[in-house]
Amino acid sequence: MTLSLLLAAAFAGFIYGITPGPGVLAVLGIGADRGRGAATAFLVGHLVGDMLWNGLALVAIVGVTTIGSTVFDLLGVISGLYLGWLGWRAVTVRRGSEGTATAQIRRPMLHGLTFGLTNPKAYPVAVATLTALLSAKAGMLTWGMLPALVLASCLGGFAAYLILVALVGIPGVRRAYRRHEILVTRLSGVLFLGFALHALMQSAPGLLG
């Protein structure tokens, strides 16, 4: 286990948690309505879902790696294409096509738990993000590393959520986000496109070879 591998997993968890999406919009809406406490409760529940999906994603990635590098390279190409598709959709988004902030939530922690466990995009995004950032170190992955990698990715997500909680309590943050929502979404799309390019550059040569 190397520090760079743990940092890559932690950074993947951070990107997974901080990138604007339905969860971030929900946090902004809940925080604006009920304050940081409710936003924190929502994210604590949501983190349980993140742990599940990141864990399953890492099980799939390590499992594919042990089968052979060709299968992992194929997963990397598929993940790169998927991230590219998400990025292109975000870059080309138009006003009115995205959701709005959630209505008032009475039980934010339970809502966050349900939200995190039932998000249909959570698993593929987790697989794609982790694959993109771990592809350069695929040969180092073993089953013995799995607990440490899951913990690192969850810590990265936790760090992202700390930033969100800090931001949601600042007056005007939600209003500013709404005003520039399209720009922020497009910038996050550029980020996804960068990860997609990285995944393809790491995986495609192996398949071509």
Taking only the tens place, the pLDDT of each residue in 90-102 is 788 776 544 443 3
Average confidence (pLDDT) over 116-125: 72
pTM for the full predicted model: 0.71
Structural domain boundaries, residue 49: 3-208
Half-sphere exposure of 207 (CA within 13 A, CB side): 14
Residue 155 has pLDDT above 90, yes or no: yes
CA 13 from chain centre, in angstroms, equals 6
Matching residue, tokens 């990860």: 195
More confident call, 19 vs 41:
41
Number of domains in the chain: 1
Tokens of 134: 């771990």
More confident call, 2 vs 181:
2
Q: 10 Å Cβ neighbour count for 48?
A: 15
**Across all residues in the chain, what is the average pLDDT?**
79
Average confidence (pLDDT) over 144-156: 91
Q: 16: burial class by Cβ within 10 Å (0-12, 13-18, 19+)?
A: buried
